[in-house]
């Protein structure tokens, strides 16, 4: 039977990763994510799983990708400065279609910034940080049980779509100790596809929209994996038609499967006059605020994105048919608000509550903004 325990947010991630089958961790310490590596260094050897502290973040993600191609489920964890350093290898994982999970416990930025303060200012970097066109999946849990379930889901999505998946976490939650329900093994899905049989080494051969099959090294047909643009065999090719297809294969595996990938939660939205759009720690402020608003007779509701990339466009647009006010609450100077501006119809009024000074919003602040907005 499952049981509510007290765990630090970082430790929930680590435990969930192990529960999802993670059997490789390479990382480099950085506040406020270091506890993940520390926990792994203690627990993984017990399970004969591999832990290594690398010389930097570039090396960490490189090692994870290598291990993944050798059949492991690999995890690394970092924060802003390290995540910036990982961008080149993030692109590699996209290009070669390698499942790997990266935790970014966001802290105040830019640069060294405020290592001990929360922020939600890496939202756009998560989507666009590496060069070239690339698909990205990013999940962003806010409540303790979600930290567990979204971490498991991140591994499943990485395996299914053969793509890097980023888990965003707030500094506040990474460091907090909180009650959490650790579900029984077997009560949640752990996705693992057997390595695919291939003919003619055509490892990337599939139709647009199809999930890539798991193909990795050491399965009796020696394969080639390349960071250069490549053909169905993985061999370098700049042939325009081939490239066209490969680019689409990579992008569309995500966009053909939005229903599977996108997850969100809706609170009090059915009759809402104002939709609060938020995620992570800000969604927790917003939820408290929405409840307070309801008590005061204000019809507010919350749309909490759990998948932040790809953006939950369709679900929001459905809501915008009825709800004509949207308030974006985020701990940055305006990032996901651009997505709302982009997808919300013009008859929907847009308001934001933004801040980037290291303090999360209090529910009262969100409530005030809602009240101003509904006036």
Ligand X SMILES: Cc1ncc(C[n+]2csc(CCOP(=O)(O)OP(=O)(O)O)c2C)c(N)n1
> DSSP secondary structure string, 20-41?
TT--EEEE---TTTHHHHHHHH
By CB under 8 A, residue 176 contacts other proteins: yes
Neighbouring CB atoms inside 10 A of 235's CB total: 13
Map the footprint of ligand X across residues 27-46, applying CB under 6 A.
Answer: 28-30
Which range in 26-34, 101-109, 182-190, 312-320 contacts ligand X by CB under 6 A?
A: 26-34
By CB under 6 A, residue 95 contacts ligand X: no
Total residues interacting with ligand X, rule: CB under 6 A: 8
Burial 280-318 (b: 16+ CB within 10 A, else e): bbbbbbbbbbbebbeeeebbbbbbbbbbbbbbbeebbee
By CB under 8 A, residue 321 contacts its own copies: no
Closest approach, Cβ 78 to ligand X, in A, equals 7
Total residues interacting with its own copies, rule: CB under 8 A: 63
By CB under 6 A, residue 91 contacts ligand X: no
By CB under 8 A, residue 153 contacts other proteins: no
**Torsional class of 256: left (φ above 0), alpha (ψ -120 to 50), beta (otherwise):** alpha
Burial 176-193 (b: 16+ CB within 10 A, else e): eebebebbeeeeeeebee
Contact string 311-350 vs other proteins (x = CB under 8 A): ----------------------------------------
User: What angle is formed at CA 7 by the lines to CA 38 and CA 1, rounded to 5 degrees?
Assistant: 120
By CB under 8 A, residue 229 contacts its own copies: yes
**Which option in its own copies, other proteins, ligand X, none does residue 67 bind, with CB closer than 5 to 8 A by kind?**
other proteins
By CB under 8 A, residue 192 contacts other proteins: no
By CB under 8 A, residue 46 contacts other proteins: yes
Closest CA to 283 of 334, 333, 328: 328
By CB under 8 A, residue 15 contacts its own copies: no
Judged by CB under 8 A, which of 104, 120, 278, 285 binds other proteins?
285
**Torsional class of 166: left (φ above 0), alpha (ψ -120 to 50), beta (otherwise):** beta
**Which option in other proteins, ligand X, its own copies, none does residue 87 bind, with CB closer than 5 to 8 A by kind?**
its own copies
Closest approach, Cβ 309 to other proteins, in A, equals 23
**Which option in ligand X, its own copies, other proteins, none does residue 48 bind, with CB closer than 5 to 8 A by kind?**
other proteins
Pair 106, 171: CB distance under 8 Å: yes
Q: What are phi and psi of 304, to 5 degrees?
A: -105, 115
By CB under 6 A, residue 82 contacts ligand X: yes
Closest CA to 178 of 150, 155, 146: 146
Which residues of this protein are in contact with ligand X, per CB under 6 A? 28-30, 57, 81-82, 85, 112
């Amino acid at each position: 039977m499952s049981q509510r325990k007290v765990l630090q947010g970082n430790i929930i991630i680590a435990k969930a990763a192990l529960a999802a089958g993670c059997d490789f961790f390479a990382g480099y310490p950085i506040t406020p994510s270091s506890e993940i590596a520390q926990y792994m260094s203690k627990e993984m050897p017990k399970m004969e799983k591999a832990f290594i502290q690398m010389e930097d973040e570039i090396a960490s993600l490189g090692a994870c990708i290598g291990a993944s191609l050798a059949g492991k489920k690999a995890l690394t964890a970092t924060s802003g400065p390290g995540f910036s350093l990982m961008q080149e290898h993030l692109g590699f994982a996209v290009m070669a279609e390698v499942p790997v999970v990266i935790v970014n416990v966001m802290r105040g930025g830019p640069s060294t910034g405020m290592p001990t303060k929360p922020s939600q200012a890496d939202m756009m970097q998560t989507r666009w940080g590496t060069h070239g066109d690339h698909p990205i999946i990013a999940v962003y849990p806010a409540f303790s049980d979600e930290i567990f379930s979204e971490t498991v889901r991140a591994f499943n999505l990485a395996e299914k779509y053969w793509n890097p998946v980023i888990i965003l976490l707030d500094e506040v939650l990474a460091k907090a100790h909180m009650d959490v329900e650790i579900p029984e093994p077997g009560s949640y899905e752990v996705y693992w596809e057997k390595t695919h049989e291939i003919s003619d080494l055509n490892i990337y051969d599939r139709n647009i929209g199809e999930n890539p099959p798991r193909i990795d090294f050491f399965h009796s047909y020696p394969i080639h994996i390349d960071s250069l643009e490549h053909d169905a065999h993985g061999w370098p090719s700049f042939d325009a038609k081939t490239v066209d297809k490969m680019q689409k294969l990579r992008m569309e595996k995500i966009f053909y499967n939005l229903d599977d990938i996108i997850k969100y939660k809706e609170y009090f939205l059915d009759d809402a006059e104002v939709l609060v759009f938020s995620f992570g720690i800000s969604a927790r402020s917003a939820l408290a605020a929405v409840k307070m608003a309801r008590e005061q007779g204000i019809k507010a509701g919350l749309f909490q994105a759990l998948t932040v990339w790809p953006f939950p466009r369709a679900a929001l647009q459905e809501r915008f048919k009825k709800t004509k006010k949207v308030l974006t609450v985020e701990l940055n100077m305006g990032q996901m608000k651009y997505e709302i501006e982009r997808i919300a119809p013009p008859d929907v009024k847009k308001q934001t509550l933004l801040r980037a000074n290291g303090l999360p919003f209090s529910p009262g602040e969100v409530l005030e903004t809602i009240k101003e907005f509904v006036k």
